[in-house]
Chain A
Amino acid sequence: MTPLLHVAHLRMVFDGLVAVDDASFDISAGQIKALIGPNGAGKTTLLNVISGLLTPTSGQVALADKPIHGLPPHRVAALGIARTFQNVELFPAMTVLEHVMVGRHLRSRSGFFAAALRLPGMRREERQIHLDAERYLAQVGLSAHADDLARDLPFGKQRLLEIARALATEPKLLLLDEAASGLSTREKKELVNLIFAIRDIGVTIFLIDHDMDLVMSISDEVVVLDHGEKIAEGTPHAVQNDDRVIAAYLGEEPVHA
């Protein structure tokens, strides 16, 4: 079976700095896959390439056999890849519900003209967008904050909002960049439940995180990046016992044994 996402010999160079170096791996549909590695290993860069924010220096990315490297981010999103951001990227002047409504952009079509004249089809669609957005907010437990400005939310809830907004695009693949960092233990537990729930509705998940307990307990497979290079890939158990992984993490936080 072809993998959902196929990454081959991916290389991303910034002014001579090699951020991602010949990385190759696959993500199969329905998996929870993790990407780990020390700070500056190139994890976020890899996500940026997959989601189209960066054009790779060389190499390929294919979603269900369709090449997507070099496509602009909105096209990648339309093909079914959604993401969250390590440093949350919210719309400061918009409410929580509006964020999720923007997430419905790809799933609705009314344009300028219909909006200007408030044609009946557009009004019907607006109501639907509203309902759908409320449903996604409820899914992450933010219904009570629907009318708050997103920037007024506590940090942990901002991360959840990013997930709701990404889910609203109905992605095939969801990329989470350090969704658990900065969360309390309780929030992390809730996040883990949410991630499982998302996987259960058929969304494949590729996540970056530094919390080894969390990563090792929820992932089906783990990819390890160090200095842009893939140094290991496999089940959590295999990766934790890999010599190169242990060496890469020496001097960093220890890999959970």
Chain B
Amino acid sequence: MRWFTAQRTFLAALLGVLLAAALPFVLLHGSAGPLLEQNNYWLGVFTFIAIYTILAVGLNLLMGYAGQASLGHAAFYGIGAYTSAILTTRTACSPWLAMLCGIVLTGVVALLIGMPCLRLRGHYLAMATLGFGWIVFIVMRQWEPITGGSSGIENVPSLAIGGLVFDHDVKCFYLTWALALLVLVISANIVNSRVGRAFRAVHGSETAAAALGVPIARFKVQVFVLSSMYAALAGSLYAHVVKYVNPSPFDFHASVSLVVMGCIGGMASVWGAPLGAATITLLKERLQLLPWRDIDVIIYGLILIVVMVFLPGGLVSGVQVAVTRLRRQRRTAAAREGAPL
């Protein structure tokens, strides 16, 4: 329990663990063979939701708590994925070490981008990351000897702990959700701390936060670096789960869908991230079946507008607002009847 900020964090984490643990049993009910060696379409989808959850949490922190947008987050995701793929297929590097390298490299890159952009007020970061996203995408496509160009890199090895190789859907599902929950708990802890309060203060009023001694530029850079490192972790997981990387999952579309995910899930709580991730992932699965190209971007745009207008805090805050209103109504009703509160 000590590991959690509050009872609420603990309960949310517990609920997450239980849901995640139970899902494969539900989906695979009645199928033959050992559980851990099963493949299943829906487990694959849920594995992606876990990966996107990690990405969405990072964007949540960045947008919701530091008030900054990144329009190139898919690039950090891509750097994580490609670092893993390149190091494990072209050198003798182990997958875990490759993952670590990707995360560190991405953190350094984000630091270099963030420092000049975040010293200034305004949305320089959005512009810089937009440009950066394009550059990374072009490098992935054009630097054939290293990245394999548009055909990408095949045969990326799976992650393994001792003899346990994460190669089937069930195992990948548990692995990605374990890491997603870890990221969620860590993020909730950060939010509910001195550092998190400083973030929220910066978002509320930079002037007041600075006048209270919060070094706003440094804090913004830190949260940007953290969110980019989450993205790299997600990218590395992607590479080792899918065992194949190519440039297309890391393009501008992906960056946009990540921003939409962050918005849908809500800026009010990191626990909204899985909701945003699930909404977009499931939507994408459906939209792929439609014959129109780029319909997803139009739909994302519409969702973004609807969320911004009706639920500016995202789905989670919408629920919170509804609950608070209900409670207040009940309380006033009780007060009117003269009942004790």
Which of these binds chain B: A24-32, A111-119, A198-206, A219-227? A111-119
Instruction: Please name all residues of chain B whose beta carbon is closer than 8 Å to the beta carbon of A98 when the two chains form the complex.
Output: 197, 200
Judged by a CB distance under 8 angstroms, whether B204 is at the interface is yes
Q: Judging by beta carbons under 8 Å apart, are A91 and B201 in contact? A: yes
Instruction: Please name all residues of chain A whose beta carbon is closer than 8 Å to the beta carbon of B200 when the two chains form the complex.
Output: 91, 93-94, 98
Which of these binds chain B: A7-15, A69-77, A181-189, A240-248? A69-77
Q: Can you list, as one digit per residue, whether each of B198-212 has a CB less than 8 Å from chain A (1) or not (0)? A: 101101110111111
A-B contact pairs, 18 of them (CB 8 A): A73-B207, A74-B213, A74-B215, A85-B207, A90-B204, A93-B200, A94-B197, A98-B197, A105-B197, A105-B213, A106-B213, A110-B193, A111-B195, A112-B190, A114-B193, A116-B186, A117-B186, A169-B212
Which of B189, B205, B212, B226 contacts A105, CB < 8 Å?
A: B212
Instruction: Please name all residues of chain A whose beta carbon is closer than 8 Å to the beta carbon of B194 when the two chains form the complex.
Output: 101, 104-105, 108, 110, 115, 122, 125-126, 129
Instruction: Please name all residues of chain B whose beta carbon is closer than 8 Å to the beta carbon of A115 when the two chains form the complex.
Output: 189-190, 193-196
Instruction: Please name all residues of chain A whose beta carbon is closer than 8 Å to the beta carbon of B222 when the two chains form the complex.
Output: 112
Q: Judging by beta carbons under 8 Å apart, are A103 and B212 in contact? A: yes
Judged by a CB distance under 8 angstroms, whether A6 is at the interface is no
Instruction: Please name all residues of chain B whose beta carbon is closer than 8 Å to the beta carbon of A106 when the two chains form the complex.
Output: 212-213
Which of B4, B190, B212, B268 contacts A102, CB < 8 Å?
A: B212
Q: Judging by beta carbons under 8 Å apart, are A77 and B190 in contact? A: no
Judged by a CB distance under 8 angstroms, whether A172 is at the interface is no
A209 to chain B, nearest CB (A): 19
Judged by a CB distance under 8 angstroms, whether A40 is at the interface is no
Chain A interface (Cβ within 8 Å of chain B)? 51-53, 72-74, 77-78, 82-83, 85, 89-94, 98, 101-106, 108, 110-112, 114-118, 122-123, 125-126, 129, 165-166, 168-169
A105 to B200, CA, bound (A): 13
A27 to chain B, nearest CB (A): 18
Closest 8 CB pairs of A and B: A91-B204, A115-B193, A77-B213, A106-B213, A89-B208, A73-B210, A116-B186, A89-B205
A21 to B214, CA, bound (A): 30
Most buried by B among A53, A78, A111, A116: A116
Q: Judging by beta carbons under 8 Å apart, are A89 and B207 in contact? A: yes
Q: Judging by beta carbons under 8 Å apart, are A116 and B204 in contact? A: no
Name the CB-closest residue of A to B64: A93
Instruction: Please name all residues of chain A whose beta carbon is closer than 8 Å to the beta carbon of B212 when the two chains form the complex.
Output: 74, 77, 82, 102-103, 105-106, 165-166, 168-169
Assuming the A-B contacts A74-B215, A91-B205, A169-B213, are A116 and B189 also in contact, with contact meaning beta carbons closer than 8 angstroms in the complex? Answer: yes
A114 to B186, CA, bound (A): 10
Judged by a CB distance under 8 angstroms, whether B292 is at the interface is no
Most buried by A among B4, B201, B208: B208
Instruction: Please name all residues of chain A whose beta carbon is closer than 8 Å to the beta carbon of B2 when the two chains form the complex.
Output: 118, 123
Q: Judging by beta carbons under 8 Å apart, are B190 and A116 in contact? A: yes
Name the CB-closest residue of A to B9: A118
Which of B3, B4, B211, B226 contacts A73, CB < 8 Å?
A: B211
A89 to B212, CA, bound (A): 11
Most buried by B among A52, A53, A94, A115: A115
A116 to B207, CA, bound (A): 26
Instruction: Please name all residues of chain B whose beta carbon is closer than 8 Å to the beta carbon of A77 when the two chains form the complex.
Output: 210-213
Instruction: Please name all residues of chain A whose beta carbon is closer than 8 Å to the beta carbon of B214 when the two chains form the complex.
Output: 74, 102, 105
Name the CB-closest residue of B to A76: B211
Name the CB-closest residue of B to A123: B2
Judged by a CB distance under 8 angstroms, whether B248 is at the interface is no
Instruction: Please name all residues of chain B whose beta carbon is closer than 8 Å to the beta carbon of A116 when the two chains form the complex.
Output: 186, 189-190
Instruction: Please name all residues of chain A whose beta carbon is closer than 8 Å to the beta carbon of B190 when the two chains form the complex.
Output: 112, 115-116
Q: Judging by beta carbons under 8 Å apart, are A112 and B195 in contact? A: yes
Q: Judging by beta carbons under 8 Å apart, are A122 and B193 in contact? A: yes
A209 to B212, CA, bound (A): 22
Name the CB-closest residue of A to B207: A89
Which of A83, A123, A125 contacts B211, CB < 8 Å?
A: A83
Name the CB-closest residue of A to B222: A112
Q: Judging by beta carbons under 8 Å apart, are B201 and A94 in contact? A: yes
Most buried by B among A93, A103, A123: A93
Q: Judging by beta carbons under 8 Å apart, are B216 and A74 in contact? A: yes
B12 to chain A, nearest CB (A): 15
Judged by a CB distance under 8 angstroms, whether B150 is at the interface is no
